[in-house]
Amino acid sequence: MESLAAPAPVDIKRPIVDFSPSIWGDVFLQYDSQPMEINDNMKTQVQMQKEEVRKIFQSSSNDISQKLNFIDSLQRLGISYHFEREIDEALEQIHKNLTKNKEITTKEGSLHFLALEFRLLRKKGYHISSDEIFEKFKNNKGSLNENISKDVQGMWSLYEAAQLRIHDEDILDEALDFTYSHLNSLITNELSPFLAKQLCQCLRTPLHKGVPRLETRCYISSYGEEPSHSKVLLNFAKLDFNTVQKMHQNEIGSITKWWKDSEFATNVPYARDRVAEAYFWPLAMSYEPKYSTARKMVGKLVTCVSLLDDTYDAYGTVEELELFTEAMQRWDINVIQSLPESMKVVFNSIVELCDEIETTIVENGTSSLVFIQYVKQNFYKLARSYFVESKWCSEGYIPTYDEYKANGSISSSYPLQILSFIGLGEFSNDEILDWIFNYPTIIDAISAHGRLADDISSHKFEQERVHVASAVECCMKQYDMSGEEAYNFIRKEIENYWKVMNEECLKLDNIPRPVLEFIMNVARVTEFAYENFEDKYTKPELLKDYIVALLVDPISIELSE
């Protein structure tokens, strides 16, 4: 790209958007200087509770049903990461037993047992047949037997299991519709408080599509109402949540201080001030303590992406943005010396963040230096995709739906976020980084899913001003649809992408399971952030209560229970 002449600095009409200010003020600054040390009493309690949980786990070794329920509780309560080896060994043995004694197991198992077994094994990457597992629950017409509607727990488990469906699994497609309809009708019936609350939660957000940390916070609050709950498990889950929360508070405090010291709110006044909301994304990818560095860096990265997005979407002219895109390609600020200072601040923030990431990986020895080159190239690809959208908007061009999605998968910023998070963690190596950088099917599906979910949530707000055509307009034009028809079409596309993602998780047995979970968690935070046609990132009041629950309020603990 040849260097361009600077645009004339007169009579520039900018597409400024009146974004609401941050709702947090200096709330999180206090955590930056807060000591993360846990007092000795809490350390002792954590270790004691952990060993008690391990003993209970080991004592259930001869009862597969009990073992599966225990693993499910560990995962829902957010403490399974303490027992990864034990869980892996247990599920491997259960899978061997299922493979060896398939006929006996499926004939004798209850709907709850078989659905739970199916879900936990498939989540772990075992490709087991849904037809063989659920065959016994069909009638002579090949459809699900109506009798299962009397088994509330079984239907709940089947509903959750059906979320892991892939293409051509007719029985799970039917199960999803069947269980949703019947469970929804049961909500008003007389159910136990625990079961009613769980059903409402799962119908709103199935476990497979929920943000793990939010699911944990919600489940801990209601687990004690379950008649058969384990007090040891509950207390350990509360202790662990509060302990890890202190680390998360320190991380968000550090990012907040960086944002304040950089004076972005003053220097880039047109951009969204969304530090806590940006941190929500890497927190959703993994809450585990060992990914603290990745969360901090990606939290900063998401704020820089937001600055970049708003520069293209809500400030720069096409002429300015063409220069800016060239600067991103060359990684050279000299290209934009004639542009407004705010745009230079945005460019420098990205360069400085990449320098910080490079220093971090050199100090920690967690990645090869090809990683930082991939990050820079992804930043350029992101800027280029934003520029394409700016040109489309300027020219009043409505692309085809496929053309829009191809560019939108990049402008979602998810490939950059995923690459950065994984590149800063324990699974970073050239092979994994190359795989991510080349946009494999699962990354492409999650990115398209993110773009579409964002579009249908922010469509009405964005079309109130001059804005690039969204996926909705592209559908309406290409397929001659109404707005409502386009919404329905896109929702079906999103469901199809979930099937693609589930399928890829079963195929990719050469990729570490945690890496696939990080990637899937991006789809989960997307579902949450853009549910009900709302954009919780742009409208921070919609996310406030969730951030308070995860980052401000600890869970009350009564260790005498």
Domain ranges of the chain: 60-209, 237-551
Measured at the CA of 242, the angle between CA 238 and CA 243, to 5 degrees, comes to 115
In angstroms, the CA 163 to CA 206 distance is: 7
pLDDT of the residue at 1: 46
- Helix 544-551, helix 212-223: angle, nearest 10: 70
Rounded to 5 degrees, φ, ψ at 332 are -145, 115
What's the predicted TM-score (pTM) here? 0.94
Whether 60-209 and 237-551 share one fold: the answer is no
C-alpha neighbours within 13 Å on the C-beta side of residue 217: 21
Query: What Å distances lie between residue 298 and 49, 76, 345, 357, 431, CA to CA?
Result: 32, 25, 19, 10, 21
Number of other CB atoms surrounding residue 20 within 10 Å: 12
- Tracing tokens 């094994």 back to the chain, one arrives at 121
220-251 burial code (b ≥16 CB/10 A, e <16): bebbeebeeebebbbbbbbbbbbbbbbbbbbb
In angstroms, the CA 126 to CA 118 distance is: 9
| CA-wise closest residue to 38 among 291, 218, 293, 241 | 241
- Looking at 135-224, list the stretches that DSSP marks H as alpha helix, in order from N- to C-terminal side: 152-162, 170-186, 193-204, 212-223
Given this structure, which CATH class describes domain 60-209? mainly alpha
Q: In this structure, what DSSP letter does residue 144 have?
A: B
pLDDT of the residue at 349: 98
- Tracing tokens 């386009």 back to the chain, one arrives at 486
Dihedral sign for Cα 198, 204, 207, 212, please.
Answer: negative
| Per-block mean pLDDT, blocks of 10 residues, the chain (561 long) | 47 81 95 77 85 91 88 97 96 91 67 96 95 91 90 96 97 96 84 85 96 97 89 95 96 98 96 97 98 97 98 95 98 97 98 95 77 96 97 93 96 97 93 95 98 84 62 93 93 97 97 98 97 92 97 83 40
User: What is the distance of C-alpha 542 from the center of its chain?
Assistant: 17
In angstroms, the CA 429 to CA 245 distance is: 29
Residues 6+ apart with CB under 8 A from 78: 212, 213, 215, 216, 219, 220, 237, 240, 241, 287
Whole-angstrom Cα Rg for the chain: 25
Q: Which fold has domain 237-551?
A: Farnesyl Diphosphate Synthase (1.10.600)
| CA-wise closest residue to 94 among 64, 131, 60 | 64
pLDDT of the residue at 2: 46
Rounded to 5 degrees, φ, ψ at 138 are -95, 155
